[in-house]
């Protein structure tokens, strides 16, 4: 299931990049050009007024700066976000499955304001892939894959030269829950997370 597998993948990615953190040489006057963040928090399916589908969530992201000036920078980023077991949104009290987990991978761009300041806001947008794993009442699992796009923003607060506290709000817009999504239209999957970011 996504629950344990996703957490293991995030931990392995962080461990794999640990030697890079230790050996990275920052060019004088340019600053770090890479950014890895790991955050956790809540997931909400906000498109359906009858059920928010709330669940725990995790997100990992990698960004590489493309253009940077003192006031603003532009980066390419790859966010990977997943939710743990969540209730299925219902229609008129009817549920077609017991629960679901979700996974989103949406490469895109990140625009950061005041990148060298100790408080730095950013905005993101991307397009990519979404996958929902549904647990039916019969005990059988059913998976749906679909396209997704995301918009979001966050705030980094530096607590060390290359480490920041990060808070982020990101909305992944997708289909993918089968009949529920077909009747309701595309679903807004909101991730509200907080954690750490490391630059190198």
Q: Which residues of 12-44 are buried (b: 16+ CB within 10 A; e: fewer)?
A: eeeeebeeeeeeeeeeeeeeebbbbbbbebebb
Rounded CA separation 96/94 (Å): 7
pLDDT tops 50 at residue 16 = no
Half-sphere exposure of residue 158: CA atoms within 13 angstroms, side-chain side: 12
Q: What is the pTM of this model?
A: 0.79
Helix H or strand E segment including 18: helix 2-23
Highest-confidence segment of 49-63, 141-155, 176-190:
141-155
Of the candidate ranges 62-71, 80-89, 104-113, the one whose mean pLDDT is the lowest? 80-89
Confidence of residue 86 (pLDDT cuts 50, 70, 90): confident
pLDDT at 30: 57
Structural domain boundaries enclosing 17:
2-199
Counted domains in the chain: 1
- Phi, psi dihedrals of residue 182, rounded to the nearest 5°: -60, -40
Question: Which residue has better confidence, 138 or 13?
Answer: 138
Confidence of residue 23 (pLDDT cuts 50, 70, 90): very low
Q: What is the CATH number of the domain that holds 48?
A: 2.40.160.20
């Amino acid at each position: 299931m996504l629950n344990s597998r996703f957490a293991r993948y995030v931990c392995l990615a962080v461990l794999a990049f640990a030697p890079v953190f230790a050996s990275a040489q920052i060019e004088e006057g340019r600053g770090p050009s890479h950014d890895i963040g790991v955050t956790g928090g809540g997931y909400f399916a906000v498109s359906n007024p009858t059920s928010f589908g709330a669940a725990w969530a995790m997100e990992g992201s990698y960004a590489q700066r493309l253009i940077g000036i003192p006031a603003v920078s532009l980066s390419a980023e790859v966010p990977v976000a997943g939710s743990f077991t969540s209730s299925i949104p219902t229609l008129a009290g009817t549920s077609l499955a017991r629960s679901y987990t979700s996974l989103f991978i949406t490469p895109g761009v990140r625009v950061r304001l005041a990148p060298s300041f100790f408080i730095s806001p950013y905005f993101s947008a991307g397009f990519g892939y979404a996958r929902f794993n549904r647990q039916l009442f019969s005990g059988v699992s059913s998976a749906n894959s679909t396209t997704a796009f995301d918009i979001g923003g966050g705030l980094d607060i530096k607590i060390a030269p290359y480490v920041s506290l990060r808070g982020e709000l990101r909305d992944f817009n997708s289909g993918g829950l089968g009949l529920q999504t077909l009747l309701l239209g595309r679903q807004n999957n909101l991730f509200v997370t907080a954690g750490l970011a490391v630059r190198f």
